[in-house]
Amino acid sequence: MLTGKHVVIIGGDARQLEIIRKLSTFDAKISLVGFDQLDDGFIGVTKMRIDEVDWNTVDAILLPISGTNEAGKVDTIFSNESIVLTEEMIEKTPNHCVVYSGISNTYLNQCMKKTNRTLVKLMERDDIAIYNSIPTAEGTIMMAIQHTDFTIHGANVAVLGLGRVGMSVARKFAALGAKVKVGARESDLLARIAEMGMEPFHISKAAQELRDVDVCINTIPALVVTANVLAEMPSHTFVIDLASKPGGTDFRYAEKRGIKALLVPGLPGIVAPKTAGRILADVLVKLLAEPS
List the domain boundaries for the chain.
6-124, 128-270
Closest CA to 219 of 253, 175, 177, 263: 263
Q: Which of 40-44, 129-133, 235-239 is modeled with the greatest confidence? A: 235-239
Phi/psi for 104 (5° steps) reads -130, 175
What is the structure's pLDDT at 292? 62
pLDDT tens for 100-141 read: 999 899 999 999 999 999 999 998 899 999 999 999 999 999
Decide if 6-124 and 128-270 have a common fold: yes
Q: Which of the four pLDDT bands, split at 50, 70 and 90, describes residue 39?
A: confident
What is the structure's pLDDT at 44? 73
CATH architecture of 128-270: 3-Layer(aba) Sandwich (3.40)
pTM value? 0.83
Average pLDDT of every residue of the chain: 94
| Domain 6-124 annotated CATH 3.90.1150.10 | no
What is the structure's pLDDT at 56? 95
List, in sequence order, every beta strand (DSSP E) within the chain: 6-10, 29-33, 45-48, 60-62, 73-74, 83-84, 98-101, 118-121, 156-160, 179-184, 199-202, 215-218, 238-241, 260-263
What is the structure's pLDDT at 245? 84
pLDDT tens for 207-228 read: 999 999 999 999 999 999 999 9
Q: Parallel, antiparallel, or unpaired: how do β-strands 73-74 and 83-84 relate?
A: antiparallel
What is the structure's pLDDT at 290? 82
